[in-house]
Structure 1
Amino acid sequence: MKKIYITLFLLIVLFLVLNQTVTGKMVVSYIKGSVSNISKDSDYIDKNGDLISTRVTVPSGYKRVSYKKGSFGEYLRNYPLKPYGSKIINYDNSEYFAQNWHDAILEIPVPENGLQQCADALMRIRSEYLWLHNRKDEIGFNFTSGHYCSWIKYAEGYRPKIQGNKVTFHKTSSADYSKSNFYKYLNLIYTYAGTLSMSHELRKVAVSDVKIGDMLVKPGSPGHIEIIVDEIINEEGHKMYLLAQGNTPAQSVCLLKNFENTSISPWYQFNEYEAVYTPSYYFDEARFIRFK
């Protein structure tokens, strides 16, 4: 009987080993929805770089796709970073359990209220870009109910009255266009909008047309969403991209490593209808959406 148990144990161990992908110094185990790993350092990281564009170098034969000065793409590509080695910190100032998923931490504060989760962090990035470029009248998002909530109306003093799926707006506050009130508005958006509302509201983009600022999305409640923050191309027209994400619980926004293809990490390649594996999430299809 003991021999039977030992044989079964050895078969189980063999099965687990054969179901692991070994690449260089890295072992990756896939579970739908997450990836656990032991990873090596990337060949394309400059530890002294303090922007996305200076932290991540370009593989031989590639160059960065040109973006117009003042564009959202240029803004993301040159987003400031915390010093190399900074950790992913949760909203309550605790350390996230996985500290080997990222090559950079973006300089985005994490509110202590815990509201700024994956989709929220990306809406914040977009809103701050529009604010900085004096395009405040473009700041606005749909609630999950489908009702549009703009910064301008909020600043004028209008607040939502929510009863189930019915939302009406009423002027209940004095006008306040300050930056501090802007972040109160974002807290409202974080509460009533998210991955599901964004996937319904925003335009779908084919993989062949994706660019910096487009978001890899798995609609749902919960679902997940990540944003492209850089783009490179070679002479054959093949492109690669960088991905960043916020997460749940609310935490630091980080630039993700590529555990699926460590030879190009942290760069990613996408193919229509094919799954995308990122360190914290499995996307069963490469689906993208774009901010208005």
Structure 2
Amino acid sequence: MCDLVCMAIVLSTLNLSFSSSEVTVDCGTNSMSIRWAESPSLTDLSLLRLGDCSPTSVTVNPGGSEAIFHIGFDACSFRRLVTEDDVVFENELTSLASSKVSSVLSPVVCVYEKPADWSPPLYDPVIFHTNGQGNLLFHLNLMNDDFSGVALSTTFSLGSFIPIAATVDQASHQPLILLLEECVASTTPTLAQDGHIHPIITNNGCLMDSKNTNSRFLPRRSLSEIRLYLQAFKFTNVYIHCKLVAWDPHVMDSGKKACQYDAQKGRWVLLDDPRKSALCTCCETRCQARRQRGIGKDLVQPVVLGPLAIKN
């Protein structure tokens, strides 16, 4: 069990039954253990997945079978969220059918009491392991006005600019470009259908907020960084939910881009090469990626920034 104050949630319970199945979750200090037991076994337990990870072990017996996961929070695409009081690790337990389509069986969450010295209240870097291509470290930070360092305050006046910087440390990985595929603002630390949501970046990299406000991308200092001035809007407390994407800079299309609206020109403009702004013409409709040869599977990391306070 965990040394910090913590709890495990699987559909609001520690032990959950699915007809003949039972799930037990144990939150550790830096990891979790999950036991899925069936009596008798009705499914192929090797097809269970926690995030993108297979079971650590599977035992099959005539009277019943079980699958066990022993997983660290730096693997399996765990999402880490820091709220005012808690540190939350989220994932989904799924079953991979023969059709190769995953069906979600249950959300899995470990919640820890946030240490008193936690500062700033932002997402920490998350390590991605990429099959021999080197480790990637993703960052999303609230910055001071000139982007010279991380901001010390998370309070902004309505209409002022919120400086945000996303970066990826590539180590030995081949050169990649960092993109913001999607960002939305919400009044809650987790996205919910009944929550208040404000779209910021949609349509595979279109800064929709630049169409009606002064929000804008800043020129890049490197391909591994993307900076944004977001104009503060009417949310008292706000969380910024984003998907960071690391991609091959030589294989860009309408599905992998960074576009913003230029009011003076009356059109959408590509951040990295205005001459190729035709990639942005779909921002008003629907952008779809074309299949091209690149690095293969794009490397995506969901992150959350907040809470931020907006004052009138």
Q: Same fold (TM over 0.5)?
A: no
Higher relative helix content? 1
